Structure 1
Amino acid sequence: MAGRRDGVLEGLAGNPAAPSSVLLRLLGVEDIHHIVRIVVWRKDLPQDVVDAVVTHPDRRIRSLYGESGHADPEQRARLLDGHPGDAFVLAHGPMMYRATAPPLPDWAYERLLDHPREHVRYELVRFGYLPPHIAVTLADHEEWSYRVAACRAWDELPEAARRSLLDDEDDDVRTAAALHVFRGDEELTTELVGRLRGDGRLGEVLESGALTREVAQRMVTERPWIAKLALNPTLPADLVAKLAVDDDPSVRLAVSARPGLTEEERAAIDHAVDPEDRLDTLRWVWDARDDPEVLRRCATSAHVWLRRSAAVCQGLPDDMVELLSGDEDFVVRLLLAEYHPAAPAELLLDLWLHGSHRAVGMLIAKPQFPSAGLAARFNDAADPRARALVVRDPDATPAQIDRLSRDPVAAVRAKAARDPRLALPRVRELLAEPETLHAAAASPRLGAGEMHALLDEVGVPRQTGRMSAGPSSP
């Protein structure tokens, strides 16, 4: 029964047609935390469910709502009117993958910045998201950490505020400010090199700061940072030549990827890139992300690190997008598919069908992932992943969806079970199959009565009066 119960709850929690009455019952599931998370993190959560969540006696449920990147900011901010401990999760904010949640209303930030609990204020200014127009108001705050937070909105700060932060009495504030302007400034670069020993930000300074001869010679002996140093365009030529024959292959690789080298000079350096190597985007390429000529040179380079770096830049010319979509390096193609809005639909489809990297699974959510014509193309495909794509085709017929629901592969049947084109009697049959139960429970074909009957079957109590999901907690 446990397996059936889990499947019913997971399916109903994600069912797009689940009414408020069903979602409110699901909030009472105490023993399976991720079920409540699915409910609370839904898009367009009904207002009565929002009301129940933000006033819920269980702190965990309120916290989940505070962490939701899909929640309306005005509704999330209501948590400030509840238990004082709820402010912490608002200060931290949602952690979305490659996205930023909509900001809270200004009044909420004002209350968080003046919150009586120090750890709430600290969380917001050090790790939370502050809209630039709020951050700039902190440039002359008496607390040093607030002034550090103001530096995150550097481009919006008035010139006078920038000068003040660069000359601040606090080392941390001066460092945060200097990290925005040190490039091209030997004095600031030298100060930061001395100040950031043991700090991960030192790598950024060594890679792109203006190095004096003295600093360069000293740092070339410090092995933890030498590969970053090898990328620095101001590194003296004799030190570059020395690092080009270094025993460490990562150092030679960095030298080979320096800006300004010819293709022949890059090829002359003994370097290699393994298909599985994780390489950060080259900073000098990223800095030129809107320069089509630099990106063109990188995209046509024989050096795969340059091509990988160009692939993430949205300023890449259209013909270079087409070129990199057929690159021999899998990572180049994957990065292009992940980051470029004009990545060809066929590239996304090919990677999704044949790629083994975990990132390919997310490509199906891209707006340019194909949908039209997939039914005719993959209805009889040998690959079950291809057959499952039929449900994406808006022109797929109910008969084709029904056929998929009888596929020998359970994962394909599950895809069909969620599709609103599948007839209700067939959905009910799939509810009886353990392998498709969770997907059938997510079918929008189910009515509210059937959903409640499923909850009755697996022992979720009906709501009577004020909902309770555990003792009230701070």
Structure 2
Amino acid sequence: MADHHLAALAHLSWNPSAPADVLLRLLKHDDQAIRRNVVQRGGLPLDVIDAILADPDPELRSEFALSANADPALRARLLDDPSPKVVMALAIGPIPYRKRVDPLPDRAYERLLAHPERRIRHETVNSRAVPGHLLAGLADHPDGPLRQAACRAWDLLTDNAKEALLHDDDLDVRRAAALRVCHQDAERTAWLVESLAGSWGRETVLRSGLLSRELAERLVADDHPGSVAANPSLPPDLVRRLAVHPDPRVRLVVSARPELTERQRAAVDYTVGPEDRLDVLDWVWEAQDDPDVLRRCATSAHTWLRRSAAVCPGLEPDLVELLSRDEDFAVRLLLCEFHPEPPPELLLDLYLNGTHRAVMMFVIHPRFPAAGLAARFADSTDPEERRLALADPELPAETLAEFARDPERRGAAARHPRVPVPLLRELLDDPDTTRLAAGNPSLPAEDMHRLLDGAGVPA
């Protein structure tokens, strides 16, 4: 099959208007990527789902088990799949980027957690989608990793269950339990610091565990005291010592401590570069529902505080407006990525002028100011702005026809949902634009089938 035909079917597999009979034919294609695209779609018709679940290829059924767009109750139908690989995929579940996964029904987790194969039980319990009430019920499970997972539901456990986990025979279980209480237990903090040497979990303890004076002094004297510099229980005199530490990363962490005033922050010699990647400050995220904390951070002269505030969805409108004009590009970018109502003009500005790859997705953001873009940019001298005119949902058909004759905009015109069907068919028959026209939601079903016929896909 010609490459452009294969690319056309790949775009067709994502076409939101593709009806069930087209999707069923695509599932018969021998290209695994095209079949996978169909499986990963959201809102699949039930007859298509039935076909996926009955497909003889376990790879395809595994893809459905891992689909973040599939209804969890429908994914749970794979519990009795004959392939252990498929059941394993169901246990692992979807891991989408920056998106919460809805859990499987409780009965599905109960069966997976009682599965005779140990690996399946462990993969299940490692899933972040397992509800807390099910994890809490594992506190006395004979399998150590399952008891360890129960610690993730610490607030739902009884006092007796907590005590049992804190004194568990399994070292990993004891560590997991101690991590839940170390913020108020200096003795367990000291034990974890030694027990987790060389482990990523040690950094968590250094940042949040309750420190005795002796341990605090020893950690501050360490060669790399960056994590402990953020610890809220660090004595004030040791904070002042780290504020003049020779390592600029340590000074930066000190400068972002919550108890410091703006004047005290300014007295620390720190820098935040425009390209510096900084995690959200724990204390800001934990206070995301506190309007006073968010206001203090959003109006701070400290870039790290403003970046951390920008990811909090509870920002009040005046703070959203303030951060939308922030001098730091990352603040404006994070605001657009995480706030439910970023200013439309900011989305447009970052799309046109931002350098980060994330800005390319802003054109599909619900608040992107698509209406009127044709009037603003159709005659621009900037090629990117001229192409952006095609994002206007009200673009007149005659303008679209004109754009379709422009080599720079012909491809984008092939994607526009308002392109007239005769012109869309012309673009579909052009090898240079076939793939783009195949993904157009205005493409009639008969033309979709014509593509499949041409590719030799069975009806």
Category of TM-score, reference length = shorter chain = over 0.9
Equivalent residues, number: 458
Query: Is the aligned partner of 1:286 residue 2:288?
Result: no
**Counterparts of 1:235 and 1:445 in 2: how far apart (Å)?**
62
Partner of residue 253, structure 1: 252
Aligned ranges for residues 383-402 of structure 1 at < 5 Å?
A: 383-402=382-401
In the TM superposition, what whole-angstrom CA distance separates every residue of 1:398-427 from its partner, at most 9, and x where no partner exists? 233333333331xx4333323332111111
TM superposition shift of 1:434 = 3.4
In the TM superposition, what whole-angstrom CA distance separates every residue of 1:22-50 from its partner, at most 9, and x where no partner exists? 222222333x4322221111111122221
Partner of residue 238, structure 1: 237
Aligned ranges for residues 45-444 of structure 1 at < 5 Å?
A: 45-85=44-84, 86-127=86-127, 129-224=129-224, 226-409=225-408, 412-444=409-441
Given that 2:68 and 2:101 are in contact with CA atoms closer than 8 Å, whether structure 1 keeps it comes out as yes
Other structure's SS at 2:226 match:
helix
Compute the TM-score of the two structures, normalised by the length of structure 1. Answer: 0.90
**Counterparts of 1:65 and 1:23 in 2: how far apart (Å)?**
14
Query: Is the aligned partner of 1:461 residue 2:431?
Result: no
Given that 1:388 and 1:404 are in contact with CA atoms closer than 8 Å, whether structure 2 keeps it comes out as no
**Counterparts of 1:389 and 1:242 in 2: how far apart (Å)?**
53
TM superposition shift of 1:106 = 1.8
Given that 2:312 and 2:339 are in contact with CA atoms closer than 8 Å, whether structure 1 keeps it comes out as yes
Which residue identity lines up with residue 436 of structure 2 in the other structure?
A
Structure 2: which 5+ runs fail to align? none
In the TM superposition, what whole-angstrom CA distance separates every residue of 1:220-249 from its partner, at most 9, and x where no partner exists? 24435x111112232233332332222221
Moved over 6 A (4+): none
Which residue identity lines up with residue 57 of structure 2 in the other structure?
D
Given that 2:313 and 2:339 are in contact with CA atoms closer than 8 Å, whether structure 1 keeps it comes out as yes
**Counterparts of 2:133 and 2:390 in 1: how far apart (Å)?**
44
Given that 2:64 and 2:75 are in contact with CA atoms closer than 8 Å, whether structure 1 keeps it comes out as yes
**Counterparts of 1:446 and 1:320 in 2: how far apart (Å)?**
43
Which residue identity lines up with residue 189 of structure 1 in the other structure?
T
Q: Which range moved further: 127-136 or 265-274?
A: 127-136
Partner of residue 32, structure 2: 33
Which residue identity lines up with residue 45 of structure 2 in the other structure?
P
Given that 1:14 and 1:38 are in contact with CA atoms closer than 8 Å, whether structure 2 keeps it comes out as yes
**Counterparts of 2:321 and 2:163 in 1: how far apart (Å)?**
45
Structure 1: which 5+ runs fail to align? 464-474
Given that 1:65 and 1:71 are in contact with CA atoms closer than 8 Å, whether structure 2 keeps it comes out as yes
Given that 1:93 and 1:128 are in contact with CA atoms closer than 8 Å, whether structure 2 keeps it comes out as no
**Counterparts of 2:55 and 2:34 in 1: how far apart (Å)?**
16
Partner of residue 451, structure 1: 448
**Counterparts of 1:425 and 1:275 in 2: how far apart (Å)?**
49
**Counterparts of 2:442 and 2:371 in 1: how far apart (Å)?**
23
Compute the TM-score of the two structures, normalised by the length of structure 2. Answer: 0.93
Given that 1:70 and 1:101 are in contact with CA atoms closer than 8 Å, whether structure 2 keeps it comes out as no
**Counterparts of 1:387 and 1:163 in 2: how far apart (Å)?**
66
TM superposition shift of 1:128 = 5.3
TM superposition shift of 1:96 = 1.0
Partner of residue 43, structure 2: 44
Aligned ranges for residues 19-30 of structure 1 at < 5 Å?
A: 19-30=19-30
Which residue identity lines up with residue 234 of structure 1 in the other structure?
S
Structure 2 CA distance for partners of 1:285 and 1:447, relative to 1, 3 Å: closer
TM superposition shift of 1:273 = 1.2
**Counterparts of 1:182 and 1:233 in 2: how far apart (Å)?**
12
TM superposition shift of 1:385 = 3.7
TM superposition shift of 1:87 = 0.7
Cα RMSD between the aligned structures? Answer: 2.1
**Counterparts of 2:328 and 2:148 in 1: how far apart (Å)?**
41
**Counterparts of 1:92 and 1:73 in 2: how far apart (Å)?**
13
TM superposition shift of 1:160 = 4.1
Given that 2:210 and 2:233 are in contact with CA atoms closer than 8 Å, whether structure 1 keeps it comes out as yes
Which residue identity lines up with residue 442 of structure 2 in the other structure?
R
Which residue identity lines up with residue 176 of structure 1 in the other structure?
A
**Counterparts of 1:420 and 1:267 in 2: how far apart (Å)?**
53
Identity %: 53
TM superposition shift of 1:18 = 2.0
Given that 1:346 and 1:370 are in contact with CA atoms closer than 8 Å, whether structure 2 keeps it comes out as yes
Which residue identity lines up with residue 356 of structure 1 in the other structure?
T
In the TM superposition, what whole-angstrom CA distance separates every residue of 1:170-191 from its partner, at most 9, and x where no partner exists? 2222222232332233223222
Structure 2 CA distance for partners of 1:420 and 1:315, relative to 1, 3 Å: closer
Which residue identity lines up with residue 215 of structure 1 in the other structure?
L
